[in-house]
Amino acid sequence: MEMRPPHPDDAAAADAALETARFYIRVNGLLSPGEPVVAAVSGGGDSMALLGILRELGHPVTVAHLDHGTRGGQSAEDAAFVAETCSAWGIPCVLERADVVRQIRRGESFEAAARRIRYAFLQRVAEEREQRVATGHTADDQAETVCMRQRRGAGARGMRGMPATRPLGRARLIRPLLSCRRTLLRAYLRHRGIPWREDPTNADPEYAARNWIRNVLFRDRIEAGGDPVAEYCLLAEESRAIWELSILETARECAAFDVPAPDEAPLSVPRWGLEQMGRHTRRVWWMLWMEALGHEPTRARVDALESWLSRGRTGTAFPLGKAGLVWLGRERLVVTKGTEAPAEGDTIMLEGPEGSVCPEGWRLRWRVRGITEAERRDPRAACGPYRQLLDADALALPLNIRFFRPGDRIRPIGMGGREKKLQDYFTDRGVPAPLRRGIPLVLSGEEIVWVAGLGPSETGRITPATRRVIALEAEPPAQSGRDHAGGR
């Protein structure tokens, strides 16, 4: 346990630390005056300073401490120290122990597993109390984080560093000390007579990359007359400004090319619009979109998506982890959960001269009427992917509607009446396999005469002799994973 005698300058430094934290909390809206808060306290200097400052600022605190069961029993000593301090100060304390080694996932480092388990614990404690949870991250931590990301080749998004606050499940995580230097916080602890514990692994440059940055790289920079903490914190602020400008430019291009806002997590996106966006803004779009879908955006994943969009084969899928799969169609990119498709469902009869039905979220309208001269001269002009005219007298009315079944065939218009497997028809038009069972098929008897959104069959085509038509109109589900990615 550390309890060092105060330095003559500690009083001014302690007051500076307190006021810096007070100002940062206020300008970032981290806590309201007197608002209760959960504090993540490890027993180290930063977290003990956090505990002292929150109490001094008038916030009722509940301490949360997780013993990771490591360092040859020293973590248990940390837990005992935190529990004794809370008891002496009359502070509620939630103390738990986790066997991190037994909970490491395949391919996961010990540090990553410990962090995952620790934040899950903090989230649970905060959600149970409906309070925010504060951590003791400092300006020094921010500088080290930005330096590590720079060395990995991060862009503006990564170089922003840690935010003042972020969601943590249904709670929020806040960092009240993010603008405080560690030297000020140690002065605060000494002046207030608050003890803390030192983790000896923090001084070992071989233990972790952060330690090497802190104890070797930054120390050398300081000896050369520099201030690496101030320099990297400034770099974080500049990167944050650049990223915000990038988001604004991406929003402008989304509006120009009719691309949905990425933070709305759209499940159906026009391919043409994405392709028209500038490379940089599209990369920003990918990152924000993956984040909204709950898939961690990385530079490698963005590179892969860019390559897939520009050179990928229509009808292929790109994995998005738990978010599902994104399918590349000729006209749209569509996200589905796994490879599930809508059920086949029953056949629906389109009875009467006009009406509408809503199978599987679609809305299909029909009307039998006379043909106009303009439609007879140029029937294609009156049709589109979701609108079709068919010769009513050449069909067996009433028509029926259903979805894909194995063995379905169609005689596509323009093929001289030759049949084709519907599965091959979908492939030719770039419709991803999982979405095919969600496209309505209109039948005359047992023959498919229209595939909604794709095209008609030879049967029912408009000719100079056509007198009556059945006008069909299909409206796909809005922003649905069942929207097919093909189209004519």
- The side-by-side arrangement of strands in the sheet containing 354-357 is 354-357, 363-370, 468-475, 387-391
**Has residue 480 got a pLDDT over 70?**
no
Banded pLDDT at 385 (limits 50, 70, 90): confident
Banded pLDDT at 107 (limits 50, 70, 90): confident
**Position with higher pLDDT, 487 vs 462:** 462
What's the pLDDT at 4? 64
**Position with higher pLDDT, 175 vs 405:** 175
- pLDDT of 223-256, one tens digit each? 999 999 999 999 999 999 999 999 999 999 999 9
What's the pLDDT at 257? 94
Q: C-alpha distances in angstroms, 39 versus 9, 100, 121, 162? A: 28, 21, 12, 18
* Within this chain, domains 10-233 and 348-475 share the same CATH topology: no
Span 10-233 CATH architecture: 3-Layer(aba) Sandwich (3.40)
- Stretch 395-411: mean pLDDT: 87
- The side-by-side arrangement of strands in the sheet containing 61-67 is 93-97, 61-67, 37-40, 132-134, 171-174, 165-168
Name the 3-class secondary structure at 387: strand
Q: Which tokens belong to 441?
A: 């098929």
**Has residue 207 got a pLDDT over 70?**
no
Placement of tokens 């979405």 in the chain? 435
- pLDDT of 359-383, one tens digit each? 777 888 899 999 999 999 898 898 9
- Stretch 400-408: mean pLDDT: 87
- Say which CATH topology domain 257-336 has: 3.30.465
Q: Which tokens belong to 213?
A: 């940055």
What CATH number has the domain spanning 348-475? 3.50.40.10
What's the pLDDT at 254? 95
Distance CA 401, CA 441 (A): 6
**Position with higher pLDDT, 477 vs 45:** 45
Banded pLDDT at 486 (limits 50, 70, 90): very low
Distance CA 230, CA 147 (A): 12
Banded pLDDT at 222 (limits 50, 70, 90): very high
- Stretch 476-483: mean pLDDT: 54
Q: C-alpha distances in angstroms, 340 versus 290, 367, 405, 436? A: 21, 33, 15, 11
Domain positions in the chain? 10-233, 257-336, 348-475
- pLDDT of 300-317, one tens digit each? 888 888 988 887 667 777
Reported pTM: 0.66
Judged by average pLDDT, the poorest of 112-126, 160-174, 354-368 is 354-368
Distance CA 300, CA 282 (A): 15
pLDDT mean across residues, the chain = 87
Give pairs for 405-409: CB < 8 Å, separation 24+. 405/344, 408/441, 408/448, 409/448
**Position with higher pLDDT, 403 vs 69:** 403
**Has residue 487 got a pLDDT over 60?**
no
Banded pLDDT at 341 (limits 50, 70, 90): very low
Percentage of the chain beyond pLDDT 90 is 56
- pLDDT of 6-65, one tens digit each? 677 899 999 999 999 999 999 999 999 999 999 999 999 999 999 999 999 999 999 999
Which of 100-114, 301-315, 319-333, 460-474 ranks highest by mean pLDDT? 460-474
Distance CA 151, CA 329 (A): 37
Banded pLDDT at 485 (limits 50, 70, 90): very low
- pLDDT of 121-161, one tens digit each? 999 999 999 999 999 999 999 999 999 999 888 889 899 99
Q: C-alpha distances in angstroms, 441 versus 91, 103, 352, 449? A: 67, 50, 18, 8
Banded pLDDT at 89 (limits 50, 70, 90): very high
Distance CA 47, CA 3 (A): 15
Name the 3-class secondary structure at 391: strand
What's the pLDDT at 339? 47
- Stretch 68-86: mean pLDDT: 86
- pLDDT of 257-302, one tens digit each? 999 999 988 888 989 999 999 999 999 999 999 999 888 888 888 8
Placement of tokens 């002292």 in the chain? 52
- 50 Cβ contact partners less than 8 Å away, ≥ 6 residues apart: 39, 40, 41, 134, 135, 136, 176, 177
Q: From 136, 235, 134, select the one nearest 181 (Cα to Cα).
A: 136
Is the Cβ–Cβ distance between 181 and 139 less than 8 Å? yes
What's the pLDDT at 343? 40
What's the pLDDT at 344? 43
* 420-421/387-391 β-pairing: unpaired
Banded pLDDT at 209 (limits 50, 70, 90): confident
Distance CA 213, CA 284 (A): 29
